[in-house]
Structure 1
Amino acid sequence: MTSNAADGSYGDNLDTAYDLMYAGRPDVATLPSFCRSIGPDASTVLEFGIGNGRLAIPMAESGFHVTGIDTSQSMIDTLRARAGDLPVTAIKADFRNQSTDDVFDLALILTNTLFMLETIDDKRRTLAQARGRLRVNGHLVVETYDPHVYLERPSPFSVTLPLGPSMLLTDTVIVDRLKQMV
């Protein structure tokens, strides 16, 4: 199954497994205090790829007003059900080209969100969208990984992880060394 962040299929296909895929990661607990440390007076956050609220909800519980953009209606529906009365707003849109007219103290592009975009132009447009939505002296937080870790491995390679009693995640990585793409 091929999933694409731009058309929402990534989130729609993974909605039921998403929390299991990221279970135990420390970012849920550490993100609010990290954001508070870089923006002590920050109150508004724009999250690109808000998904089911895995990170937005702890941010809102910590006092931030979170607006997020995602293409997956399934993930947004899950987020809205989970968020209840918390200050979380979800916008269904393709964040490469559209976000919101509001401005924010912080913009977040976390986990693998930037790498779900296929081209360098998509990445540039997304970063420009984030920059354009920040207040003066606002902060952009981009979480990434070191692609050299993958470039040094044989291609393709797969990793299979048990997510539950009847669910496995198989992650296949294809490395194109000439294009320097993973």
Structure 2
Amino acid sequence: MSGPMNPGAYGDALADVYDFMYPHHETADTVSFLGSLVPEGGRVVEFGPGTGRVALPLAQEGFSVHGIEASARMIEKLRERDPESTVKAVQGDFSEHLIDGNFDLCYIVCNTLFMILDSEQQIETLRNAAAHLVPGGRVVIEAAEPSYFHQLTKPTLQTRHLAPDKLMLDTIMVDSVNQMLYEVHAVIGSGSVSTFTEASRYAWPNELDLMARLAGLTKVDRFADWDRSPLRPGAERYITVYRKAD
């Protein structure tokens, strides 16, 4: 079940409901965290900016923000929100696509790195992130802490209330041997039902550190949240800051 997937398929399928799936209540903390790692007016690149939830506020803070996004539908939504193109987004596969110029920061949020389904390609993505950076530049990865999912032995159901008239049912299945997670998203609303199967290949924090080291990056910090709270057992995610060698 873990064959290759079109990199833009997730965004193309869910662009219309993506902003409901990931509400903006923590965006200010995310932007503050990322902005603290960059000099005033510095250059940043996001791998998978989606509709611009993080990229747009960073641009409004005065940073030069670029993005590599696989989904044409996501780029359409971003340009609707950003008609002046303050975020310079290009369509491409961020595991291999390069933008000219050096950046102070590359960030990958919302578990996007794990949507690459092969560990070697995840390493190549981290290597590509490092290739965009000035010496001493930072890479920030936000990823799901996999302990809860890893112990699942049968499918489980979660519900998201997207809007007063829209509901998402997520059926979650795990292949713990191969560290693969599958979510069947069913969006119900306005008299219609649409489905999309999302696949992700999760990694443990120490495993991610090893992959980053192979890509030429060194861990600087790790937190459980954008408020810099320490990572402890039971955390739902982990946020790691890596540094490119001088």
Change (3 A) 1:124 1:6: farther
User: CA offsets, 1:48-88, max 9 Å, x none?
Assistant: 00111111111111111111011111110111121133531
TM-score, structure 1 normalization: 0.89
Superposed displacement of residue 157, structure 1: 1.2
The CA RMSD measured in Å over matched residues stands at 1.8
2:24·2:53 contact (CA, 8 Å) conserved in 1? no
Q: How does 1:130-141 map to 2 (within 5 A)?
A: 130-141=129-140
Q: Which has the higher strand share?
A: 2
Distance in 1, matches of 2:116 and 2:66, equals: 20
Matches within 5 A, 1:1-182: 6-26=6-26, 28-41=27-40, 43-85=42-84, 87-182=86-181
Q: How far apart in 2 are the matches of 1:23 and 1:46?
A: 21
Deviation digits for residues 87-113 of structure 1 (CA, Å, limit 9, x no counterpart): 311110011111212211100111121
Once structures 1 and 2 are overlaid, which stretch shifts more, 52-61 or 158-167?
A: 158-167
Structure 2: 5+ residue stretches without partners: 182-246
Gaps of at least 5 residues in structure 1 are: none
TM-score with structure 2 length normalisation? 0.67
Aligned residues: 178
Alpha-carbon distance in structure 1 between the residues aligned to 2:68 and 2:122: 15
The higher radius of gyration belongs to 2
Query: Quick check: 1:31–1:59 contact (8 Å CA) kept in 2?
Result: no
Q: Equivalents in 1 of 2:179, 2:53: separation in Å?
A: 30
Identity %, equivalent residues: 38
Paired amino acid for 1:16: D
